[in-house]
Structure 1
């Protein structure tokens, strides 16, 4: 990347008046919440949208696919677009498109139109993460941008998903998706006002987009979109029973390999593949992906368990208020303690909290309720916001040490790994849960053999409970068997989620062991190198 043109110099920092600085921070928080609430509401209501759109639950899952796919791939071009066309123009055009799409979304009345509008929503929402970062960093002095601005921007970006589930019963009080669309439209109008009223300082522009950038972008976009589709729907269609899932996965891998080969041959690549394949960046990327897989427990774990057990959105809302509180507290704590030399200790603490939270959840039983996971899920949410900002700050420092041109490659890998990694993690979580549920169900049914006196006694107990409403003996026994089957399914589901929570606990502990080993190795190397200069 040494052949690339130098970055244009940024204007010197000029402190803003306190009220104006607070306005920029508020704009950052509001823009971040506007984007993440949209994703959170869609995730929370995917199963209930079918009735309004005249589609099945399986079909409505594709709404999540078309919304998330652009968000995974758009970071590839957004940074260069901002550099070429200017920060202010980038912000204004992005927010206008977002507001227009929010208005168009009100016209969707069936699955096809909803898919089209959600695709546009995903494309138009992708720049909002960048805008949230820029507005948070704008009023802060240089020494506070990484240690305070970065954690707070990431916190508000992450806050929307649990907050959407917490307030979903209030917004969807009559079950109409139009309520959510109206809220998104209103928030987009406020974002539009904030962006035009609070302009960002824009530096010089430069031509950075090349013709081959578009080719590489198209290939990587096709690849990432395929991965999002496979891991979002694979657990539902089931991997081994639907040929197109495997074919799409193979095609996505081929497209990614071709894109990487093209990038390796370019003098001015879209992303510096060689640097990203260096040991330090591979270590950071692996850590980010592992952490996103672990955090899938919060996005696909607790909600999936309680939905399967029949809990309503109202009953689950208090749990997500606690997760929201834990997320905010974690971001605030990270902003207070974050320094480059403290990053390893922050990661150790985060992994310990995740292991503790997952370990607590792994002991759930058939009477588990959202209240039982208030503490454990809050710990995991707190840990997530301790880990992510510190990891991103560490990566940014590594990139800046190599030179400003490496910043683009790191931001791409960070944003894409978070979105794509989260989608893959949630897909693997659902797949493993489904497989373990089937295994536990079969095992329980084997134990409940027809001639087993315990089974007969349990059926007799259910028949006695139902005897007041049913008279026919055959119907009584049939209903009793149905009740027993329901209990078996519930028990198998809880056992499967316990297995997943246990696995996440062990993964967190394994990651902790590797981190401690890495730190110990670095300490030994430093200790062995110290005496050499003294001896001379």
Structure 2
């Protein structure tokens, strides 16, 4: 890499990594301003998509779309968000992160503003794609702003806060998004999203990050590799997002997209592997360190899918509305904030495995508690379990990031690869979790439904009494006895389906608990092995002190 800008930095100002800003000393008011802007930037990066995810059912009616079509909205966000991580690190090394952010914030604001006048699915997908691109930059930008807000001795705490703030977006969106819908239906969401984008853009222009070193990093082949890998990742995201809706083995496009994703991703990595100056360090990505890090992040993100896919899905099956679940969303948000605060307060670079074990243990306990749900379960019954899951979800994130950063600091060439790996695992972990748990829930619902229906026969007096009781409830509105009997049978079938769904969600919660426990045991065994090998190396390396008192003559 050839340097674009060069200057001598004081020891406390020197950027930690290529492409990051310098860290000069700031007065306290300016540090506070950096912290506020960092919080705003990080929330803006995730809040727009979270507002859509939290209100897909309401937006579906407004846009006149099917469930499969609506699934393209969060899928478009993940597609562009993951792909832009491939270019973002090199872009900020060569041109600066602020240039990238300002450019795409303006694009994001323009697309969002245009969607207010065009009420169709295509423009909504375009907004989500634009938000995915700018969201990739905003997550890094929020992290850098937060680092400026803290002195050097607390920089690790700033890293945790800057990284974890974006995780608060989804529970925060669930708390107040219904009020936005009441203002102007779907336009209320997009007006708020546009306002956040414009506010963030103004703050970024007014309070600029300190400069950093810039290097010439891009090569012409980088853009070809980006096009290949981005297309492959986009196909993979589409398959994971819509597979359980169009169903994995029934839609032809899923097979073609899966094959295309495999060919494109492997082909792009093969070209990268043989380049003299690759964009991705494939040898590091194939190392045990990178594979273990990716697996830990993916498994933990899958466990965290219990909140969005499991608990919320169960309560919706039980006909709980947004207003009835608002207090539960507040509890989820409080748990996430508490986990983030405790993680920042207690993080210790010498003890990074213990927070991961504690986080997974808390999430396992929360999932196990939810696995005893019934048709009488209400949001109040899930306050404790969801608090534990929210706490664990943000408590694990900082230590995981720091563990990976160790290998970047020893070899800065791994920075792009680490950023891409962490971003992909975070996003795909959520998609894989939703796809796996959603599919598992559907399969188990069919199984439990067949078992329940198998024992429902009108020859059974209890079943006959249940049908008669349901039919009697229509006595005042339906005069035809045959129609009332049909409606009574239909009511019984609806109750059976509800019970099958509840039992299926209990199976989902237990599966999540098992995944969390197994992941926790794996990390615990790995930490014990590392401790034993480290002690063995230290013992071997300790010089032996001679006590014989021999002297040379």
TM value normalised by structure 2: 0.92
Contact 2:168 2:336 in 1 (8 A): yes
- Judged with a 3 Å threshold, the aligned counterparts in structure 2 of structure 1 residues 342 and 414 are, in CA distance, closer, same or farther, namely same
Please give the per-residue CA displacement for 1:121-173, whole angstroms capped at 9, x wherever unaligned. 3223332112111111123333322x211211122201111111111111111
Which residue, out of 70, 91, 103, partners 1:93? Answer: 103
Partner of 1:455: 463
Partner of 1:412: 420
Does residue 55 (structure 1) correspond to residue 65 (structure 2)? The answer is yes
Q: Which moved more, 1:503-512 or 1:446-455?
A: 446-455
For structure 1, the residue ranges without an aligned partner over 5 or more in a row are none
Please give the per-residue CA displacement for 1:464-495, whole angstroms capped at 9, x wherever unaligned. 34334433221221111111111111101111
Partner of 2:492: 484
Partner of 2:264: 255
Which residue, out of 55, 75, 81, partners 1:71? Answer: 81
Which residue, out of 22, 27, 46, partners 1:17? Answer: 27
Which residue, out of 117, 132, 138, partners 1:128? Answer: 138
Q: Which moved more, 1:84-93 or 1:35-44?
A: 84-93
Contact 2:373 2:506 in 1 (8 A): yes
What pairs with 1:263-274 in structure 2 (closer than 5 Å)?
263-274=272-283
Using the alignment, how far apart are the partners of 2:110 and 2:478 within structure 1? 58
Q: Which moved more, 1:222-231 or 1:51-60?
A: 51-60
CA-based RMSD of the aligned residues comes to 2.0
What is the CA-CA distance between 1:451 and the residue it aligns to?
2.4
Partner of 1:502: 510
Does residue 511 (structure 1) correspond to residue 511 (structure 2)? The answer is no
Q: Which moved more, 1:443-452 or 1:266-275?
A: 443-452
Using the alignment, how far apart are the partners of 1:533 and 1:45 within structure 2? 59
Using the alignment, how far apart are the partners of 2:272 and 2:354 within structure 1? 36
What is the CA-CA distance between 1:87 and the residue it aligns to?
3.7
Q: Give the match's secondary structure for 2:214.
A: coil
What pairs with 1:319-334 in structure 2 (closer than 5 Å)?
319-334=328-343
Q: Which moved more, 1:381-390 or 1:300-309?
A: 300-309
- Judged with a 3 Å threshold, the aligned counterparts in structure 2 of structure 1 residues 138 and 531 are, in CA distance, closer, same or farther, namely closer
Q: How many residues align?
A: 531
What pairs with 1:18-167 in structure 2 (closer than 5 Å)?
18-145=28-155, 147-167=156-176
Does residue 315 (structure 1) correspond to residue 324 (structure 2)? The answer is yes
What is the CA-CA distance between 1:534 and the residue it aligns to?
6.5
Using the alignment, how far apart are the partners of 1:126 and 1:523 within structure 2? 36
Contact 1:99 1:192 in 2 (8 A): no
What is the CA-CA distance between 1:358 and the residue it aligns to?
0.3
Using the alignment, how far apart are the partners of 1:215 and 1:535 within structure 2? 53
Using the alignment, how far apart are the partners of 1:44 and 1:86 within structure 2? 33
Q: Give the match's secondary structure for 1:266.
A: coil
Which residue, out of 473, 483, 507, partners 2:481? Answer: 473
Contact 1:95 1:195 in 2 (8 A): no
Using the alignment, how far apart are the partners of 2:277 and 2:469 within structure 1? 74
What pairs with 1:329-478 in structure 2 (closer than 5 Å)?
329-401=338-410, 403-478=411-486
Q: Give the match's secondary structure for 1:28.
A: helix
Does residue 238 (structure 1) correspond to residue 247 (structure 2)? The answer is yes
Using the alignment, how far apart are the partners of 2:179 and 2:193 within structure 1? 15
Partner of 1:303: 312
- Judged with a 3 Å threshold, the aligned counterparts in structure 2 of structure 1 residues 6 and 400 are, in CA distance, closer, same or farther, namely farther
Q: Which contiguous aligned blocks of 4+ residues in structure 1 show a shift greater than 6 angstroms?
A: 6-10
What is the CA-CA distance between 1:313 and the residue it aligns to?
1.4
Contact 2:33 2:149 in 1 (8 A): no
Q: Which moved more, 1:364-373 or 1:518-527?
A: 518-527
Contact 2:24 2:210 in 1 (8 A): no
Partner of 2:529: 521
Using the alignment, how far apart are the partners of 2:142 and 2:408 within structure 1? 21
For structure 2, the residue ranges without an aligned partner over 5 or more in a row are 14-22, 545-553
Q: Which moved more, 1:98-107 or 1:223-232?
A: 98-107
What is the CA-CA distance between 1:396 and the residue it aligns to?
0.6
Contact 1:358 1:502 in 2 (8 A): yes
Q: Which moved more, 1:331-340 or 1:182-191?
A: 182-191
